[in-house]
């Protein structure tokens, strides 16, 4: 790579973050680096009514079946839902929690970047 070519977003964008913004970026980066493994998709816990007309889940008041934990994600462009056992839910819950934390950190980093470029463009002559 030619040393005159731009490398990295800060070189290309010429962003000028304040010291506080750099500190926020560094904190976010440290949290991202410390994050563990994560699972993609969504975890939902639901109760269902079945198709049997005389079942307790159709009574008044209904007593639904469940709760069931379901993991939904995209695989090859298709939505796939998998029901988790209670043991799997307990085992995978920290991975779903990590994924949620990673999404929040990424959103925070994107919001910080937007703040930097919006502040920088309003200061231009």
Q: Report the relative pairing of strands 42-48 and 65-75 from DSSP bridges.
A: antiparallel
- The tens place of each residue's pLDDT in the chain, 125 residues long, gives 454 454 555 445 677 888 999 999 999 999 999 999 999 999 999 999 999 989 999 999 999 999 999 999 999 999 999 999 999 999 999 999 999 999 999 999 999 999 998 876 555 54
Specify the pLDDT at position 34: 93
Confidence (pLDDT) at 69: 96
User: 3-class DSSP state for residue 35?
Assistant: coil
pTM listed for this prediction: 0.73
Residue 71 burial class via C-beta count within 10 angstroms: exposed 0-12, middle 13-18, buried 19 and up: buried
pLDDT at 11: 46
| pLDDT at residue 8 in the model | 53
Do 96 and 104 contact (CB within 8 A), yes or no?
no
Using DSSP, state whether 60 is helix, strand or coil. Answer: coil
State the DSSP code for 57: G
Distances (CA, A) of 86 to 45, 58, 67, 106, 112: 11, 25, 10, 30, 39
Tokens of 68: 């069931």
Task: Using alpha carbons, select from 52, 84, 57 the residue that is nearest to residue 68.
Answer: 84
Contact 72, 42 (CB under 8 A): yes
- Which of these, 124, 120, 102, 105, lies nearest to 37 by C-alpha position? 102
């Amino acid at each position: 790579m030619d040393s005159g070519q731009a490398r990295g977003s800060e070189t290309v964008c010429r962003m000028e973050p304040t010291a506080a913004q750099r500190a926020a970026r560094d904190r976010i980066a440290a949290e991202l680096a410390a994050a563990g493994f994560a699972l993609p998709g969504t975890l939902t816990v639901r109760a269902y009514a079945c198709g049997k007309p005389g079942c307790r889940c159709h009574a008044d008041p209904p007593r639904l079946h469940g709760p069931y934990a379901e993991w939904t994600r995209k695989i090859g462009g298709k939505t796939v839902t998998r029901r988790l056992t209670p043991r799997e839910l307990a085992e995978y819950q920290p991975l779903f929690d990590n994924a949620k934390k990673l999404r929040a950190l990424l959103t925070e980093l994107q919001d910080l970047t937007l703040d930097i470029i919006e502040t920088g463009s309003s200061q231009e002559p």
